[in-house]
Amino acid sequence: MDMRVQAEEPTEQNVLVNSSETQKLNLWQQIQEDWQAHGCDWTKPGFRAVAVHRFGVWRMGIKSKLLRAPLSILYRMLYRKVRNSYGIELPYTVDLGRRVVIEHQSGIVIHGYSVIGDDCIIRQGVTLGNRYLERPLEAPKLGKRVNVGAGAKIFGDISIGDDVNIGANAVVLTDIPANSTVVGIPAKIIQKE
């Protein structure tokens, strides 16, 4: 069975959705898009973590606390299941872009105030966190199409530009300009296009 995603013929609906990256998608559309980004495999832990995140964000849009309460209980159960079973901590407070792929499982910790742009790839052992205990709300901001290698650590209130490749086990402590490749501890730019 061929699991590759086939390119769809442009339809009026597809053109409207793709014409503006900032256009809000409903929960089902987001989950479908994430499912396709994860190779149309609903069993992948990364897809499940992202789907639970999307559900957590969606339930906060329900104004009535009485109606939201049972959904919040369900979200917390699902969040803990993903965290404890797959080792992926992705709180609903993360500003998560479209088509973000969590490639593998285990040891993935994302700070609740992190920003992850569209089409990023996160691999196992990645941490996006704060750098200083006295500044607990500072978190990294990843641009679009950032490719984060296994075991990479990104700390502090820093910005990673679009189309950046972060090498495996790199420790990123400073801003990285767009179209760069960084490796090492601490991470240094080895290539800039």
Q: Domain for residue 180, yes or no?
A: yes
pLDDT value of position 23: 53
Closest of 87, 139, 92, 136 to residue 111, by C-alpha: 139
Query: What does the longest C-alpha to C-alpha distance in the chain come to?
Result: 53
CB 59 within 8 A of CB 75: yes
In the 3-class helix/strand/coil scheme, how is 45-104 assigned residue by residue? HHHHHHHHHHHHHHHCCCCCHHHHHHHHHHHHHHHHHHHHHHCEECCCCCEECCCCEECC
How far is it, in rounded angstroms, from Cα 144 to Cα 152?
17
Distances (CA, A) of 155 to 42, 115, 150, 169, 193: 31, 13, 15, 13, 24
CB 166 within 8 A of CB 141: no
CB 84 within 8 A of CB 71: no
How would you classify the pairing of strands 159-160 and 180-183? unpaired
DSSP state of 156: S
Name the band, by pLDDT with cuts 50, 70 and 90, for residue 22.
Answer: very low
pLDDT digits (tens, 9 = 90+) for 64-109: 999 999 999 999 999 999 999 999 999 999 999 999 999 998 999 9
pLDDT value of position 13: 39
Q: Which domain holds residue 134?
A: 24-192
Q: Domain for residue 163, yes or no?
A: yes
CB 184 within 8 A of CB 167: yes
How far is it, in rounded angstroms, from Cα 183 to Cα 171?
8
Secondary element (H or E) of residue 15:
helix 12-19
Q: Domain for residue 12, yes or no?
A: no
Query: How many domains in the chain?
Result: 1
Q: What percent of the chain has pLDDT over 70?
A: 88
pLDDT at 16 over 80: no
pLDDT at 6 over 50: no
Q: Domain for residue 5, yes or no?
A: no
Q: What is the CATH number of the domain that holds 70?
A: 2.160.10.10
Q: Domain for residue 17, yes or no?
A: no
pLDDT at 165 over 70: yes
